[in-house]
Amino acid sequence: MKDDRDIWFPSKTYGWGWGPPRKWQGWVVLAIFVFAIAGIAMRFPPDARPLEFFALLVLACAVLTLVCWWKGEPPRWRWGNRKP
The DSSP secondary structure of the chain, one letter per residue, reads: ---GGG-SBPBPSEESSB-S-SSHHHHHHHHHHHHHHHHHHHHS-TTT-HHHHHHHHHHHHHHHHHHHHHHBPPP--EETTS--
Residues 19-38: what's their mean pLDDT?
96
Q: How confident is the model at residue 14 (pLDDT cuts 50, 70, 90)?
A: confident
Digit-coded pLDDT (tens) for 39-79 = 999 999 999 999 999 999 999 999 999 999 999 998 888 88
Q: What is the pLDDT of residue 62?
A: 98
Q: Which residue has the higher pLDDT, 15 or 35?
A: 35
pTM summary value: 0.83
Inform me whether the pLDDT recorded for 2 exceeds 70. Answer: no
